[in-house]
Structure 1
Amino acid sequence: MKIFKFGGASVKDADTIKNVVKVLKNEGFKNTLIVISAMGKMTNAFEKIVDAYYNNSEDLATNINSVRNFHITIIENLFEDKKQPILFELELLFGQLSGFLAINKSANYNYIYDQVVGYGELLSTKIISSYLNTIGILTKWIDVRDFIKTDVSYRNATVNWQETKVNIQILDSQNLYITQGFLGADSKGKTTTLGREGSDYTAAIFAHCLGAESVTIWKDVDGVLNADPRYFKETVLLNQISYNEAIEMAFYGASVIHPKTLKPLENKNIPLYVRSFYNLKNKGTTVGKVPNLLPETPCFILKNKQILVSITALDFSFMVEHNLSDIFKILHNYKLKVNLIQNSALSFSVCLEDKFNNFEAFLSQIVSKYNVTFVSNVALYTIRHANQKAIDLVEKKGTVLLKQSTKGTVQLIMQ
């Protein structure tokens, strides 16, 4: 089978959904499974619903109606017959959402998040499957939660590979399947999510379990670029990237490929293609058993909204193993992602990502044991295959607070 993954930008409105049809007709869709994300910025919109519900805000009903109207507008622009059964299915899904919000007793934000945000993927796949069937491309819609099973780590669930493989391997390769990215289910059937941008990972899970021919991620760019064009004026298309190099780039925060996506593909030598859904003649980027990087060029990875924390012992003793073990335990307890560390005799510096908004709680605990200073809202630049010209380019973007070099890789924290 082939696995296609379409992200939110590729299904953001009626025109882009019709463009998906062009992609399928151009590439062929026999023996294919399609993974689809929420439409456009709908994950953000559902996050607003979660926040309004959690904070008991008066905006809850408005936010829900806004999301409903967005999807109804797309349906009206897609279908000629305005009395489509998909409208009933849409209202059924919103009824399920309202039902959960009415009966939920949990105060766990992460649990609530996963039960609500996943409706973005359910809506997008229902609408697109219905549209394809209407125009004669027969699809089989499947609920990914029946196949991908996980633990209960809401918002960042770990896949139960053994159970997931058994579930996925029953699929008939003769069908054209459509399913949701990003989602799974725990042992009790409760929705879990695989982390933001987890739809790429979903595609890799299916590919691995099915022994797929390939995975193609369709995006609004020509492929994997050596830098984000929003922050760097001159970018280069990377024609080929090895699995190892792509994993390194993902580890440092390259947003084009989800960090968990690559290992399941490498284990079965399944190539990953990153291509433009606008420019179908362009072959994009191939990730696989290929030379490390073609062309060889510096690659720039930017992570914004970082926190630089410097920690010293209260008695100015050395920062050694027992101190570091204690600090990392506290960081783990508050789910703070560590993106860079630097250690000296008396101090320990760490660049953090606070995606669960736990930094204040972390700070209140650690200041009882250590001297702590921090700088918020800094930028972490990572340069792979760095040369002096590339380093100079980044250093012109602000004040360097910390710089660290290893073989071929330079990281700079900038303010």
Structure 2
Amino acid sequence: MKVLKFGGTSVANAENIRKVMSIVQDTPSPVVVVVSALGGVTDNLLLAANKAATHQNNYLQLLEELETTHLDTVRLLFPYDKQSSVISHIKQQFNHLETLLEGISLLGEITKRSSDKIVSYGELLSAYLISEFFISEGLDARYKDTRELIKTNSTFGKAVVDFSVTNTNIHYFFQSTKSSITIVPGFISSSFNGDTTTLGRGGSDYTAAIIANAVHAEALEIWTDVNGMYTANPKLVKQAKTIKHISYEEAMELSHFGAKVLYPPTIQPVLNAKIPIYIKNTFNPKNAGSCISENTNGKKSPISGISHIEDIALLTIEGSGMVGVPGISKRLFEVLSQHEISVVLITQASSEHSICLGVIQQEAIIAKEIIDTAFEYEISRGKIKPCLMESDLAIVALVGDRMKSHQGLSGKMFSALGKNNVNIRAIAQGASERNISTVIENKDVKKALNVLHERFFEDNIKQLNLYIMGAGNVGSIFLAQLHQQRSYLKETLKINIRVIAIASSKKMAFDSNGIDLSNWKETLLKGEETSLNAFFENVKKRNLRNSIFVDNTASEQVAQTYAWYLKNSIAVVTCNKIACASAYENYAHLKFLSRKYNAPFLFETNVGAGLPIIDTLKNLIASGDRVHKIQAVLSGSLNFVFNNFNETSSFKEVVSQAKEEGYTEPDPRIDLSGIDVARKILILARESGYPIEIEDIENHTFLPKESLETPSVESFIESLETHAVHFNQLYMAAKEEDKRLKYVATFKEGKASVGLQQIPKEHPFYNLEGKDNIVLFYTERYPDYPLLIKGAGAGAAVTASGIFADIIRTATS
């Protein structure tokens, strides 16, 4: 014999009930079918009762809607000539319900006893309706009221089963019945006084387990709307996987900590009898689902699943009066037990100075009052502080039978959460080492579950969530590179990248599932108006793991937002030099925030675009080397300009070409004035350990004063033609000396300068072609022959690739 339980979604409507019948028909008889109320009925019955108790007359309307739901289901399931008796029975039951609700309305209150009586109608109606439908379809089925089988005490709302009497009742009934299919209502039972009781929300699972144990069933099948138990809540973790096989103990831990496909008490009745439980999907019956049985230590992974409970409150009592005083814990838990308040987590300091416990949030205020009253004397004497209550918390738990044989799991768990700014408020681990529980803020639940699932279940694939500011030349090329390389990154580097947001100067668009990079421009056009504050708040609200803010702009306003992101443990990757070249205090503060909040702050493209200049410098400093001198051509745009400027091409023409081809900033004055090079050498000096300011750098500009003071880019370009003679003289002077013009940045022992220089043939800078950059590092280890880095240092493509490289670095940081 098998026992099959079908939940509310499985019997929510006529179509689903037909699916249930098909599953039952495919199951060898005899079979017991335990059913919940039709979907949503229990909640609405409770709502109607509460409305009646508070004299809201619309409870009758709600009752009428529930009756209509049941009658409509009958009309869709039964042939017309077989409807009348079923409809008559249902109407009779709703008349009884109306009488009960009228009584509650007159009294103006609802007791647990009357509540149990009212909600029982959901299962009673469902089981009756389904049994009559099965019979009308020619199945050998019968209905049995579980109140006649399951006997309990009079603890209404969550009655305690008397298994001795209950098992005898069930055994004798099924021994005598001849029907192939027995349909029974779940959730409900009766006391020895004959009052209707219930087994707790989710109690239909428990009903099925009680019957399975009593009849020594071959298996217990829990039919629901998912493919089994998952490694995490699939609504919050899209990568969650079905657990094929799990032990009773693991399933009990997971269900206790919020795995809603199984009511926690369900396991106990079948555990000792070693009856396997199968969690299966009514809407995908061919799926194998999950099997819950004896311990399966052959599994590779020590972690079976991650579960959570939201809306938890922490209650803490502490004080010197607790140290060495016996009976404090007894008094604490005894008083909570007397008021039927369940404790879901306990942790105590080894000094006995404090006890921290978790309770359901809706019970927290009462629990605090009870505790303060129980320890009123100690509190008045200052030996114990008043109970401290913290709300809006959640418990996240790692569960697995093999956790105790694996070292470092706690470290991996806490490290993964810490890197994503998930603050842990309390920790608890059972002596069985089958569970590690942490208390975190409710708002961090989704992030925490995804972080832990990624760490323990996803084959070390790390997901990065990008928020991209700037969709111009560099930004668009970066997005194209990302779209092209996504598969390679996932398959080869185990990195999965999603672009959650893209913003231009005018529009911004968000999608938590990831923006389709094949048509991101269309998505952006449909977005909302760009606001830096709104963009940040959106990033913060989504609270996704491994989040990275990518700045592809040259905006000072955007650079001023970096601290916002770093303080929220969101990495910052930028090609924008303004932040790192701003006041040293701001630069140092951003570096400090990066360390404090474990959020990478990477800006390799600030110097040399895609060249590994800053990374190389960091490695030199980290290994104990010391920089004495830096010589560099750091402007690919200026190098391009002076390599192409000659007798046949005017200075204006070459600068215009460089601007059009993307070698300069949108405003070429930033490049030609030398300020861009000054910022770059400043950044290198700071990364070398020198706290200098931009004002400390000598800038020997080659531009005429009139050109520097032009009010717009257009007028600046025109001024280059006006002063053509000046630029020609610079060129000819270098040519006569058989030298080439290069804009050189120099740093030596704390002092820096930038300016146009005539470079002789024997110098490494002389043959620097195109838009290339070159850097010479003279250090303690490279005193005479410098460490040289050379390559393309300008252009949207190489800048985009440098940003890409920094993003990859965040995945390994």
Q: Is TM-score (shorter-chain normalized) higher than 0.5? A: yes
Aligned counterpart, 1:401: 425
User: Residue 57 of structure 1: CA displacement?
Assistant: 2.4
Measure, in 2, the Cα distance between the counterparts of 1:47 and 1:23. 31
Aligned counterpart, 2:235: 230
User: Residue 99 of structure 1: CA displacement?
Assistant: 2.9
Q: List per-residue Cα deviations over 1:235-268 (Å, max 9, x = no partner).
A: 1211111222223333444322222111211221
Larger radius of gyration: 2
Measure, in 1, the Cα distance between the counterparts of 2:298 and 2:51. 45
Closer, same or farther: CA 159–411 of 1 in aligned 2, 3 Å? same
Aligned counterpart, 2:342: 337
Measure, in 2, the Cα distance between the counterparts of 1:213 and 1:298. 25
Q: Could you list the runs of 5+ residues in structure 2 that have no partner in the other structure? A: 380-385, 404-408, 442-813
Tell me if 1:31 matches 2:5.
Answer: no
Range with bigger deviation, 405-414 or 141-150: 405-414
User: Residue 142 of structure 1: CA displacement?
Assistant: 0.7
Closer, same or farther: CA 270–405 of 1 in aligned 2, 3 Å? closer
Measure, in 1, the Cα distance between the counterparts of 2:300 and 2:158. 34
Q: List per-residue Cα deviations over 1:95-140 (Å, max 9, x = no partner).
A: 2222333456795621121011111101111111111111111311
Q: Is the 8 A contact 1:243 1:287 kept in 2?
A: yes
Closer, same or farther: CA 343–335 of 1 in aligned 2, 3 Å? same
Aligned counterpart, 1:411: 437
Closer, same or farther: CA 260–185 of 1 in aligned 2, 3 Å? same
Q: Could you list the runs of 5+ residues in structure 1 that have no partner in the other structure? A: none
Q: Is the 8 A contact 1:106 1:112 kept in 2?
A: no
Q: List per-residue Cα deviations over 1:315-336 (Å, max 9, x = no partner).
A: 7543744221111112112222
Aligned counterpart, 1:137: 139
Among 329, 347, 358, which residue is 1:351 paired with?
358
Q: List per-residue Cα deviations over 1:28-72 (Å, max 9, x = no partner).
A: 3x2111000011111111110221133232232122112112212
Measure, in 1, the Cα distance between the counterparts of 2:53 and 2:421. 38
Closer, same or farther: CA 293–414 of 1 in aligned 2, 3 Å? farther
Q: Is the 8 A contact 2:116 2:196 kept in 1?
A: yes
Measure, in 2, the Cα distance between the counterparts of 1:329 and 1:108. 27
Closer, same or farther: CA 48–231 of 1 in aligned 2, 3 Å? same
User: Residue 210 of structure 1: CA displacement?
Assistant: 1.0
Aligned counterpart, 1:306: 312
Measure, in 2, the Cα distance between the counterparts of 1:381 and 1:49. 34
Aligned counterpart, 1:376: 391
Q: Is the 8 A contact 2:315 2:368 kept in 1?
A: no
Q: List per-residue Cα deviations over 1:319-364 (Å, max 9, x = no partner).
A: 744221111112112222211111123221111025xx55433333
Closer, same or farther: CA 93–393 of 1 in aligned 2, 3 Å? farther
Measure, in 2, the Cα distance between the counterparts of 1:45 and 1:185. 22
Measure, in 1, the Cα distance between the counterparts of 2:324 and 2:156. 34
Q: List per-residue Cα deviations over 1:71-106 (Å, max 9, x = no partner).
A: 122222222317431111111111222233345679
Closer, same or farther: CA 140–348 of 1 in aligned 2, 3 Å? same
Measure, in 2, the Cα distance between the counterparts of 1:392 and 1:162. 49
**How do residues 186-197 of structure 1 correspond to structure 2 at under 5 angstroms?**
186-197=191-202
Q: Is the 8 A contact 2:14 2:77 kept in 1?
A: yes
Range with bigger deviation, 73-82 or 234-243: 73-82
Q: Is the 8 A contact 2:55 2:108 kept in 1?
A: no
Measure, in 1, the Cα distance between the counterparts of 2:67 and 2:273. 41
What is the one-letter code of the residue matched to 1:38? A
Measure, in 1, the Cα distance between the counterparts of 2:190 and 2:366. 29
Aligned counterpart, 2:273: 268
Measure, in 2, the Cα distance between the counterparts of 1:64 and 1:367. 42
Closer, same or farther: CA 298–109 of 1 in aligned 2, 3 Å? same
Closer, same or farther: CA 292–191 of 1 in aligned 2, 3 Å? farther
Measure, in 2, the Cα distance between the counterparts of 1:409 and 1:208. 27
Closer, same or farther: CA 293–21 of 1 in aligned 2, 3 Å? farther
Measure, in 2, the Cα distance between the counterparts of 1:222 and 1:102. 42
Measure, in 1, the Cα distance between the counterparts of 2:110 and 2:235. 36
Q: Is the 8 A contact 2:52 2:102 kept in 1?
A: no
Aligned counterpart, 1:95: 95
Where 1:51 maps in the other structure, the secondary structure is helix
Q: Is the 8 A contact 2:250 2:434 kept in 1?
A: no
Measure, in 2, the Cα distance between the counterparts of 1:294 and 1:280. 25
Closer, same or farther: CA 61–394 of 1 in aligned 2, 3 Å? farther
Measure, in 2, the Cα distance between the counterparts of 1:274 and 1:93. 32
Range with bigger deviation, 320-329 or 227-236: 320-329
Measure, in 1, the Cα distance between the counterparts of 2:233 and 2:50. 30
Q: Is the 8 A contact 2:417 2:423 kept in 1?
A: no
Where 2:37 maps in the other structure, the secondary structure is coil
Q: Is the 8 A contact 2:313 2:364 kept in 1?
A: no
Aligned counterpart, 2:250: 245
Measure, in 1, the Cα distance between the counterparts of 2:217 and 2:25. 20
Among 159, 162, 165, which residue is 1:163 paired with?
165
User: Residue 197 of structure 1: CA displacement?
Assistant: 0.4
What is the one-letter code of the residue matched to 1:62? Q
Measure, in 1, the Cα distance between the counterparts of 2:283 and 2:190. 34
Range with bigger deviation, 8-17 or 378-387: 378-387
Closer, same or farther: CA 81–282 of 1 in aligned 2, 3 Å? same
Measure, in 2, the Cα distance between the counterparts of 1:119 and 1:393. 47
Q: Is the 8 A contact 2:50 2:110 kept in 1?
A: no
TM-score, normalising length: structure 1? 0.92
Where 1:9 maps in the other structure, the secondary structure is coil
Where 1:235 maps in the other structure, the secondary structure is coil
Measure, in 1, the Cα distance between the counterparts of 2:428 and 2:167. 41
Aligned counterpart, 2:487: none
Q: Is the 8 A contact 2:246 2:290 kept in 1?
A: yes
Q: Is the 8 A contact 1:240 1:295 kept in 2?
A: no
Aligned counterpart, 2:261: 256
Measure, in 2, the Cα distance between the counterparts of 1:397 and 1:128. 51
Please provide the CA RMSD for this pair.
Answer: 2.3
Aligned counterpart, 1:13: 13
Closer, same or farther: CA 31–196 of 1 in aligned 2, 3 Å? same
Aligned counterpart, 2:516: none
Q: Is the 8 A contact 1:208 1:265 kept in 2?
A: yes
Identity over the aligned pairs, expressed in percent?
A: 26
Measure, in 2, the Cα distance between the counterparts of 1:397 and 1:18. 48
Q: List per-residue Cα deviations over 1:285-332 (Å, max 9, x = no partner).
A: 11113514756344111101111111235x754374422111111211
Closer, same or farther: CA 216–58 of 1 in aligned 2, 3 Å? same
Aligned counterpart, 2:726: none
Q: Is the 8 A contact 1:245 1:292 kept in 2?
A: no
Measure, in 2, the Cα distance between the counterparts of 1:292 and 1:192. 39
Tell me if 1:47 matches 2:55.
Answer: no
Where 2:265 maps in the other structure, the secondary structure is coil
Q: Is the 8 A contact 2:223 2:280 kept in 1?
A: yes
What is the one-letter code of the residue matched to 1:167? N
Q: Is the 8 A contact 1:86 1:130 kept in 2?
A: yes
Closer, same or farther: CA 294–94 of 1 in aligned 2, 3 Å? farther
Where 1:169 maps in the other structure, the secondary structure is helix
What is the one-letter code of the residue matched to 1:60? Y
Measure, in 2, the Cα distance between the counterparts of 1:219 and 1:73. 23
Closer, same or farther: CA 327–97 of 1 in aligned 2, 3 Å? same
Measure, in 2, the Cα distance between the counterparts of 1:287 and 1:408. 16
